[in-house]
Amino acid sequence: MLIDISRIKSSTGDVLVIDETLDISELDPAFSDVKVEGKIKNIAGVLTIKAVISGTYTSVCDRCMEDAPVKLESTLDTIFDLNEAKDDSLTLENGKINLDRTAYDALSLEIPMVLLCKEDCKGICPNCGVNLNFEECHCEEENN
């Protein structure tokens, strides 16, 4: 989705409210429920954007390989100049904000290094391969 900022570009005090649900599955199908809520404001000719970007990222649990959805949130708080400044946190296209790309970049930075389906995931038994969250196995007993 492209956000056209041309109508607030010329007069100071103008505000553009952003309240969008995005589908960025084209960029990465692991993302769902992506939302951007915030405001772009023209303050004395300079555009400032403040927004909260949230979404769900679904990957597999590092311990048991089941789906592990994690909720991510990122805040965008930046000033930008359409003509000069290049701000890495915003992606602009022909003077419009590419919101999909911006949200994708922001949320990607929030993905944790280790993903777990739940904090106390018991994982998979290295011996018999049973998912210990759902089943108990007797490997440990047998070894002892």
User: Quick check: 139 binds Zn ion (CB under 5 A)?
Assistant: yes
Residues 6+ apart with CB under 8 A from 67: 58, 59, 60, 61, 117
From the list 51, 36, 50, 40, the residue with the least C-alpha distance to 1 is 36
Considering the complex, what minimum distance in angstroms separates the CB of residue 30 from Zn ion? 16
User: Quick check: 137 binds Zn ion (CB under 5 A)?
Assistant: yes
User: Quick check: 63 binds Zn ion (CB under 5 A)?
Assistant: yes
User: Quick check: 124 binds Zn ion (CB under 5 A)?
Assistant: no
- What the block records as the tokens of 46 is 């300079």
As beta bridge partners, residue 57 has 31, 70
User: Quick check: 61 binds Zn ion (CB under 5 A)?
Assistant: yes
Q: What are the residues binding Zn ion (CB under 5 A)?
A: 61, 63-64, 117, 121, 125, 127-128, 137, 139
